[in-house]
Amino acid sequence: MTCIEVESGIAVFVQDWGSGKPIMFIHGFPFSHRIFEYQMVALAQQGYRAIGIDLRGFGQSDKPWNGNDYDTWVSDIRQVIEALDLRDVTLVGFSMGGAITAHYAATQNDARVTQLVLLGAAAPIAAPQPEDKNQIEGFIQAILTDPANFAHNFVQQAFYQPLSPELLRFLAEMGTAVSLRTLVRAQEELRDRNLVPEMSNIQIPTLICHGVHDKVVPIAAGEAQQQLIKDAQLMRFEESGHGLFYEEKDRLTQALLSFVS
């Protein structure tokens, strides 16, 4: 593990396991890289370099006031790729992290990133309808009222398969490690960002994995991504809600191995 300075006085936490072709994981709201540990261990054991980042404001990374937005998170990811001198990178993004990695692939023209995987990605628009924006406004008020209770309820609704009380607590506690500023700004980004105009700029091979029972980011988002990204593959996870990294963890690992090999 290491911390990489992405701008003066601001560092992000990086978990770096294994060696070989790099696969970089970008978590979603309100989690950290630890949601991917099962996949990271399995990939490292198969001869890949599995790299998990805690976005600024989340997990073990610094929590500044400024820069809690898609553009700065993209810039931070690029700084990590450059600092580690990575080549032939597969970017894997979950939920909000999927929107961020899609934004990266669409805007950075970075030849070092050669593949993209979107997992339950909150793209191209996380809140396409007025009722979706109203729901996010409710989330923001719930965060400001009781962030710990919000994290517990958010995690509980994200899964189709039942969670043990211990796993629910583990994931909810991840949400309480996020700064209050970041929790609110992340929801504002999800509410306001529209990536539709840029999605067709993604020219690298793309795999879309989406839970059929996802109530946080309905599978219609994955279908829209497939339409907007040239030659993208859509894999439906029939036994998953939003948490396919756990609900069908073995199938997801195999999908990643097949895609990157």
Residue positions annotated with a catalytic role: 95, 214, 242
3-state secondary structure the chain: CEEEEEECCEEEEEEEECCCCEEEEECCCCCCHHHHHHHHHHHHHCCCEEEEECCCCCCCCCCCCCCCCHHHHHHHHHHHHHHCCCCCEEEEEECHHHHHHHHHHHHCCCCCEEEEEEECCCCCECCCCHHHHHHHHHHHHHHHHCHHHHHHHHHHHHCCCCCCHHHHHHHHHHHHCCCHHHHHHHHHHHHHCECHHHHCCCCCCEEEEEECCCCCCCHHHHHHHHHHCCCCEEEEECCCCCCHHHHCHHHHHHHHHHHHC
Cα four-point dihedral sign 188, 59, 219, 257: positive
